[in-house]
Amino acid sequence: MIGAERALAPDLARGLMLLLIVLSNTGFHLYAAQHGPTGWHPTDGGPLDRAAQFLMIVGLDLRVYPLFSFLLGYGMMQFFLRQTEGGVEPKRASRMLRMRSLWFVVFGFLHAALLMAGDILGAYGVMTFILGWLFIRRSGKTQFIAACVFAVLLWALFALVVLTHLSGELGVEHEIGAEAYASGVSDPLEAAKLRLEMWVYVTLVGGLFGFASHASILLGFWAARRRVLESPGEQLRMLWSVAVIGIAIGWLGGLPTALGHFGVIEVSDEALYMEGPFYMVQALTGLFGGLGYAAAITLAAHRLSKRGASGPLVSMATAVGKRSLSSYLAFSVVFAPLLAAWGLGLGGRLSSFTMVLFGLGVWLVVAAGCVYLERRGMRGPAEVLLRRLVYGRGARPAAATPQSVL
């Protein structure tokens, strides 16, 4: 098997993170449903649909991407350290990471043009290019301080949004998720055009001003220097604290939006919609929630490693985690043609709950494919392609252990 000697936590976390991303993205495809001011979740449906909406707003929205960012930063620092420990000059290892970031942008462009407007590869390509260039060779202390600076910037942005809202200058004109992501457009060319327009916005705005993700990536740098995911037994107290406090803050921060979405509390539309105060509360607390998830998964992996055995779901998740880029793209290859209006249009017939079941089924199918590759000692096709683009044909990286891309 590929990377049999690898620590369990990083790959398990990536595999479960991709499951959470799949579930959180399901709302983008419900183009025929009625949407409220939040723009992402339907306001109709039965009890099971409402339960699915509540759980996603509280537990997934703006909580999964900080987890993604942390793991991406962690993997970048792992790559850098293994390259330099293998004899590669730090400047050259840093250049390879920047090259990888640029290829992320290219992959993201193609992903959006062909399949999904909500592509995040482009935005994370921009983020990792800048942060890798500025901070990958810095000390852990500098990386931690820089993460705190970005967290402060997030608070400053929140304060600005609140002040703008209180002044009455925050408008309510916005494009809801189903429209902005072109899932309900039946013309393939028009859908591609709209997807690319959305991709440019997400890539530039998210890449430059996604302060929660910037902070998470830098904390990933810092944590990788301390080998937090590989040696959790040495840092159990910190991990337990981050898991309990982070998840608690994350879930509590999602409650106001969930209660406003269901009309339990009376909230104006401009407070709920994207870039409004409630959205910013989710972003602020989502940073804590994402880090809490990372810590909780690491603790679970530590316990599994001590037991020396894992079940089929853990094996599937780790196989996905080792092929994170291939898996991320494979989800869209299945999702888009089946759900979009330019394809079979199933997204117009499903509800929040049935879409969650569909997303879980897609994750299991992709995971089964990853297990097949794992048993044959094969990497994912996207990982193979990216390695060739970064290293060149026939070149071998200094790191002995294959690395996950995301």
- Cβ atoms 269, 240 nearer than 8 A: no
Cα(20)–Cα(65) distance, rounded to whole angstroms?
A: 9
- Bridge partners (DSSP) of residue 35 are 42
Residue 168: is it exposed, middle or buried by C-beta count within 10 angstroms (0-12/13-18/19+)?
exposed
d(CA 21, CA 320): 13
Q: Per-residue confidence at 402, pLDDT binned at 50, 70, 90?
A: very low
**SS3 (DSSP) at 344:** coil
Q: What is the pLDDT of residue 325?
A: 96
The CA–CA distances, whole Å, from 233 to 4, 163, 171 equal 20, 45, 50
8 Å CB contact between 203 and 126: yes
Residue that has been written with the tokens 């810095």 in this structure: 138
pLDDT tens-digit profile of 245-265? 999 999 999 999 999 989 899
Give dist(CA 148, CA 347) in Å, integer.
40
Q: What is the pLDDT of residue 2?
A: 46
Q: How far apart are the C-alpha atoms of 300 and 111, rounded to whole Å?
A: 33
Which amino acid makes up residue 16?
A: L
Determine contact, residues 210/284, Cβ cutoff 8 Å: no
Encode pLDDT of 132-176 as tens digits. 999 999 999 999 999 999 999 999 998 988 888 777 765 555 555
Mean pLDDT of all residues belonging to the chain:
89
Residue 121 half-sphere exposure toward CB, CA atoms < 13 A: 29
- Report the distance separating Cα 76 and Cα 132, nearest Å: 8
Which pLDDT tens digit goes with each residue over 291-348? 999 999 999 999 988 887 678 899 999 999 999 999 999 999 999 999 999 999 999 9
pLDDT tens sequence across 23-77: 988 888 898 888 877 778 888 889 999 999 999 999 999 899 999 999 999 999 9
- The reported pLDDT for the residue numbered 330 is 96
Residue 196's alpha-carbon distances to 114, 235, 308, in angstroms, are: 9, 43, 46
What percentage of the chain has pLDDT greater than the value 70?
A: 92
DSSP annotation of 42: B
Handedness of CA 42, 48, 53, 56 (dihedral sign): negative
- Model's pTM, two decimal places? 0.93
CB 346 within 8 Å of CB 197: no
- What's the rounded Cα separation, in Å, for the pair 395 and 386? 12
pLDDT in the model for residue 404: 61
User: Is 50 exceeded by the pLDDT of residue 182?
Assistant: yes
What pLDDT is stored for residue 284 in this prediction?
93
Bridge partners of residue 42, in order along the sequence: 35
Phi, psi of 168, rounded to the nearest 5 degrees: 80, 10
